[in-house]
Amino acid sequence: MTTFGIISDTHGKIPPAAFEALDGVDRILHAGDVGPAELLAELEAVAPVTAVHGNMDGPELRERLPAEALVEAGGRTLVLMHGDALPDQEPASFRAARPEADVIIHGHTHRARVDRDETPWVINPGSAGAPRRGDRPSVAILRVEGGVVRVDIVSL
């Protein structure tokens, strides 16, 4: 089994509860709007990190991080993106952009969501560092074992 901690929209702030929730994961996937690059080093202390840049990340991270990343696990293809380049933040737009994926992970809206209605699944972990509209900070835990994908949103 491979366990991923999914985080997004930290904007330079990660609450201690996020580190607790991510403890023990095999890899962390950051879906953009990281904040200062040093934040990635803090996450690397927990587990290896795959990250993409978001629309609010500065030139240093835009040069260092891709707009999209592919991650293979247990025979499944995960696509990691921020999502700001799409015309809207609806699951259909993500599915149309990357239909070959099994799971699309994105950020940008700061709202947690797991849409399993169709394949690929569309997951947003919410914002760990800058929630909006009264939402609580959150991350997601995604597990892939024998081709089976499970995901949980963890409210911090």
| pLDDT tops 90 at residue 14 | yes
pLDDT recorded at residue 89: 93
pLDDT of residue 45: 97
pLDDT tens per residue, range 15-67: 999 999 999 999 999 999 999 999 999 999 999 999 999 999 999 999 999 99
Per the confidence metrics, is the pTM higher than 0.95? Answer: yes
The CATH architecture one would assign to domain 2-155 is: 4-Layer Sandwich (3.60)
pLDDT exceeds 90 at position 68: yes
Half-sphere exposure of 76 (CA within 13 A, CB side): 25
CA dist 103 and 14 (Å) reads 24
Please compute, for residue 74, the number of CA atoms within 13 A of its CA located in the half-sphere on the CB side: 16
- Cα separation, 145 vs 155, in Å, equals 23
Closest to 76 (Cα-Cα) out of 95, 98, 103: 103
Query: Which two tokens mark 42?
Result: 């803090």
pLDDT at 142 over 90: yes
Q: What is the pLDDT of residue 132?
A: 87
Q: What pLDDT does 130 receive?
A: 81
Give tens-digit pLDDT for 98-125: 999 999 999 999 999 999 999 999 999 9
